[in-house]
Amino acid sequence: MSENSVGASQAILKNDRYLRALLKQPVDITPVWMMRQAGRYLPEYKATRAEAGDFMSLCKNAELACEVTLQPLRRFPLDAAILFSDILTIPDAMGLGLYFETGEGPRFKNPISCKADVDKLGAPDPEGELQYVMNAVRTIRRELKGEVPLIGFSGSPWTLATYMVEGGSSKAFTKIKKMAFAEPKTLHALLSVLADSVTSYLNAQIAAGAQSVMIFDTWGGVLSPRDYKDFSLQYMARIVDGLTRENEGRKVPVTLFTKNGGMWLEAIADTGCDAVGLDWTIDIAEARKRIGDKVALQGNMDPSMLYASRARIEQEVATILQGYGQGSGHVFNLGHGIHLDVPPEHAGVFVDAVHRLSQPYHK
């Protein structure tokens, strides 16, 4: 068998409605997946993480990362798998010393504080320092056996920079905003090396088998409109321009997601991405009016709705489906990651409701 025919056989998907919806092609029902669908709300995930020892050990073990990626697919008829990894793999590979403080989230031993720190940084080799991620992608693709597509991802340059400069999570973002406004050249230099790093990282994920990629701009919404375009959006647009957009004989769709980015939907859609992720603070009907002729939309149920009764969850799903309306171009998702204390059976109600209630919108 030739290399091309191997690639072609690997690209055969039993369920490709997620990819089709991202490209605004007809589908039978609205596809659905959940941000953080592999995670702490599942008891089997907790058991596998305990086996790994800690979070980063789980990320760096291809077989265990594959196992937790597949766990939600065994429970729910999801239309996509997402690589189990972390957005902070790139800064960790740059030597910042990532660790996780109990109850406080990610921290860095060597945060970025000045131009000299930035000057020392180089884009990590995706098949070198980050090869464990590519090994996980290859393992997951093999074990998925063409059931559903695999999503690769990265944090946006701005979001990665917030962690690198703040030294971890932040509420006020004073350190990175001080750099943005007092030393903008330093921050732009950092964002530039991160944009190059994310581009090569995502292209390597695509080469390893990711069939769609997503950029998470978790903290873009803390910026003013002008500063968002200057410090976040222009770097995501640069990444989109540099991505491999076709592999294995199929288009590789790109989704951009800025949390609290509802006011900038038009600008995000103008980057050339295929889909725009929506959080729950914007009405999907309004979003479709504004940009739905140009890109697909992903979202956007409030993750906290999964605490509600079965009837309330189904009602919310019906409302969002009605808001989007007829036709393809909608990937149903939560507006952010599923919460760790949501009962798994509520996630099942959500997934089943999307599939069942969306049928009339695709006739």
* pLDDT digits (tens), the chain, 363 positions: 333 433 444 568 999 999 999 999 999 999 999 999 999 999 999 999 999 999 999 999 999 999 999 999 999 999 999 999 999 999 999 999 999 877 778 999 999 999 999 999 999 999 999 999 999 999 999 999 999 999 999 999 999 999 999 999 999 999 999 999 999 999 999 999 999 999 999 999 999 999 999 999 999 999 999 999 999 999 999 999 999 999 999 999 999 999 999 999 999 999 999 999 999 999 999 999 999 999 999 999 999 999 999 999 999 999 999 999 999 999 999 999 999 999 999 999 999 999 999 999 998
**355-361: Cβ within 8 A, 24+ apart:** 355/29, 355/30, 355/32, 355/77, 357/314, 357/317, 357/318, 357/321, 358/29, 358/30, 358/321, 358/332, 359/28, 359/29, 361/30, 361/321, 361/324, 361/325, 361/326, 361/327
Residues in a beta bridge with 301: 334
DSSP letter assigned to residue 346: H
Contact 331, 32 (CB under 8 A): yes
Query: How far apart, in Å, are the Cα atoms of 304 and each of 78, 196, 356?
Result: 19, 35, 21
| N- to C-terminal Cα separation, the chain | 40
* Residue 39 among known ligand-binding residues: yes
- Specify the 3-state DSSP secondary structure of 275: strand
The answer on whether 182 is annotated among ligand-binding residues is no
Q: Is 20 annotated as a binding residue?
A: no
Catalytic residue among 36, 245, 290, 310: 36
∠198-97-115 over CA atoms, to 5°?
A: 65
Residue 11: per-residue pLDDT: 67
Q: In residues, how long is the chain? A: 363
Task: Record the tokens describing residue 163, joined without a space.
Answer: 């962690």
Among candidate residues 40, 75, 238, 290, the one labeled active-site is 40
Residue 203: helix, strand or coil by DSSP? helix
At 162, the amino acid letter reads: T
* Set 49, 75, 138, 245: catalytic member: 49
Only one residue has tokens 């409701």, namely 353
Query: Which of 75, 86, 132, 245 is the catalytic position?
Result: 86
CA angle, corner 360, sides to 354 and 363, nearest 5? 125
Question: Which amino acid, 310?
Answer: R
Supply the CATH classification number for the domain 3-362.
3.20.20.210
Reply yes or no on whether 356 is catalytic.
no
Q: Running DSSP on this structure, what letter comes out for residue 39?
A: S
Catalytic, 138? Answer no
Dmax (CA) for the chain in angstroms is 59
141 is catalytic: no
Is there a binding annotation on residue 218? yes
Q: Where are the domains of the chain?
A: 3-362
Residue 13's SS3 state is: coil
What is the reported pLDDT for 6?
35
Place of tokens 């996509």: 80
Q: What's the sign of the alpha-carbon dihedral 174, 176, 177, 182? A: positive
Residue 38 is assigned to a ligand binding site: yes
Identified catalytic residue from 18, 41, 45, 163? 163
According to the model, what pLDDT value does residue 1 have?
32
Annotation-wise, does 36 bind a ligand?
yes
Q: Which residues pair with 277 in a beta bridge?
A: 257, 298
Q: Report whether 86 belongs to an annotated binding site.
A: yes
Spatial separation of the C-alpha atoms in residues 321 and 327, rounded to whole Å: 10
Using DSSP, state whether 103 is helix, strand or coil.
coil
Classify residue 103 as left (phi > 0), alpha (psi -120 to 50) or beta.
Answer: left
Place of tokens 């709705």: 305
Is residue 17 part of the annotated active site? The answer reads: no
Q: Which two tokens stand for residue 111?
A: 């945060």
Distances (CA, A) of 144 to 66, 76, 81, 338: 9, 14, 9, 22
Whether this prediction's pTM lies above 0.75 is answered by: yes
For residue 107, the SS3 value is strand
Q: Which helix H or strand E contains 332, and what residues bound it?
A: strand 330-334
Task: Kindly state the tokens that stand for 66.
Answer: 């594959």
Looking up tokens 């058991």, which residue turns up?
47
Active site (annotated) includes residue 40: yes
Please give the pLDDT value at position 360. Answer: 98
H or E stretch at 277:
strand 275-277
Extract the tokens encoding 314: 């189904």
